Structure 1
Amino acid sequence: MGIRRGATVEEAVMNVRRRRRHRADILNEIEADITELKENLCPSTEDRSMWRRGSGYKTSFSTNETWRILRVNYTQCSWSRSVWFPQATPKFLFIVWLAMLNRLSTMDRISSWSRGVDETCVLCKCAPETKNHLFFGCSFSSQLWEYLVKGILGSAYTNDWNAVVLLITDQSMERKKLFCIRYAFQAAVHALWRERNKIKHDDKPLPLPVLQKLVEKGVRNKLSLMRIKGGKGMQRVLQYWFGARL
């Protein structure tokens, strides 16, 4: 084609030569594109940088639109805002996020890649350890969950994982109540996973009464901060917590 291997687009277009007919169709297509570019050239006009946007090419750059074009779009999870909500504790929500995706190394998952392991739940020692059993079908974990939220939920109380997930995604719930349930949920999941791992690594777990009081104190400390940082409607969230537990 008369174009050197290291030539730029400008050199290829500006190279004056007679258009040739090639045996290979792909070379003919390249020649046609080069010819079209040469015909559309405007030597008197200064080149401009153009950025691809959602509505076409623009002279201004947008980080937001560039990110949207580059990323793969997936359907948003129904529970995403219930896990990744403002004022959540990062180490809590990370464990909850893994649990939501069923990516915690519970014994039923471990047994799928390591045959012969004991699948019994180390907290209650009465049933195989699955995510739904550990949170909160286990007799040990259900007592912690009941201790934290039974007074708030009342007749709506449940220890079924799927039903609990529906509760924390209920946007019609009062703001103070919803935050208390969501934060207690994350604190409980994190604490139970920590105690479970202690036993798996031959460490001594906390007695249930101690664990209950420790987790509840952590929730109270968070709610105390929410009175200042929680914004409108959250000034009396700690009083709400105490009132629901009487």
Structure 2
Amino acid sequence: MSTLDRASRWSQGLDTTCVLCKNAADTRSHLFFECDYSAQIWEFIAKGILRDSYTVIWSEILAILLDEKREKMSLFCIRYAFQEVLYAVWRERNKLMHGDKLLPLPVIKRMIDKGIRNKISLMRMKGIKGMEKLMQFWFLTRM
């Protein structure tokens, strides 16, 4: 991903400060999910799935995403949640960089949750084996 720390290699003098929080350099690890802004979104979506293994550390998140020993529904939910949150944070960051305004955090959180529920509904309609109780699992992670 073209974070500002990478872009600064091609464009000398580029301000690499995170446009979302203005507290650190815009690196992959910071943007996903050490940044205060993105961390709030990630926590809202992922903490219920990950419980005790919840983290904002990029390498630890990747290890979780690659853990084939994890229960199938949990693994699907965390992988899809990761994808949804990554896209939403990236989109909001780019909007801000190009002069647009951020959506309020509650709106982004609801959009991501709804996107995940829509994907689960689609999987249920397609009759994907082993995912019959996926929506129930998702709602349990929201408590």
- TM tier relative to shorter chain: over 0.9
Shift of 1:224: 1.2
Shift of 1:230: 5.2
Residues 93-118 of structure 1, C-alpha deviation per residue, up to 9 Å, x if partnerless? xxxxxxxxxxx111101111111111
* Gap runs ≥5 in structure 2: none
Q: Determine which of 24, 44, 49 is the counterpart of 1:127.
A: 24
Q: Please tell me whether Structure 1 or Structure 2 has the larger radius of gyration of its CA atoms.
A: 1
Shift of 1:207: 1.1
Indicate the residue corresponding to 1:81 in structure 2: none
Contact preservation (8 Å) 1:134, 1:141: yes
Residues 151-173 of structure 1, C-alpha deviation per residue, up to 9 Å, x if partnerless? 11111100111110110111011
Q: Which has the higher contact order (CA 8 A, sep 6+)?
A: 2
1:148 aligns with 2:45: yes
Residues 86-140 of structure 1, C-alpha deviation per residue, up to 9 Å, x if partnerless? xxxxxxxxxxxxxxxxxx1111011111111111001111101000100001000
Q: Determine which of 121, 124, 127 is the counterpart of 1:224.
A: 121
1:215 aligns with 2:112: yes
Give the AA of the match of 2:133.
Answer: R
Indicate the residue corresponding to 2:101 in structure 1: 204
Number of aligned residue pairs: give it. Answer: 143
1:105 aligns with 2:11: no
Residues 62-81 of structure 1, C-alpha deviation per residue, up to 9 Å, x if partnerless? xxxxxxxxxxxxxxxxxxxx
- How does the TM-score come out when normalised to structure 2? 0.97
Indicate the residue corresponding to 1:62 in structure 2: none
Contact preservation (8 Å) 1:176, 1:234: yes
Give the AA of the match of 1:199.
Answer: L
* Gap runs ≥5 in structure 1: 1-103
Query: Alignment partner of 2:9: what SS?
Result: helix
Query: Alignment partner of 2:87: what SS?
Result: helix
The structure richer in helix per residue is: 2
Shift of 1:228: 2.4
Give the AA of the match of 1:242.
Answer: F
- How does the TM-score come out when normalised to structure 1? 0.57
Give the AA of the match of 1:214.
Answer: M
Shift of 1:244: 1.6
Tell me how large the CA RMSD over aligned residues is. 0.9
Give the AA of the match of 1:149.
Answer: A
User: Structure 2 CA distance, aligned partners of 1:218 and 1:130?
Assistant: 26
Q: Determine which of 68, 77, 82 is the counterpart of 1:180.
A: 77
Contact preservation (8 Å) 1:228, 1:235: no
Indicate the residue corresponding to 1:114 in structure 2: 11
CA 1:240–1:128: 2 relative to 1, 3 Å = same
User: Structure 2 CA distance, aligned partners of 1:160 and 1:206?
Assistant: 24
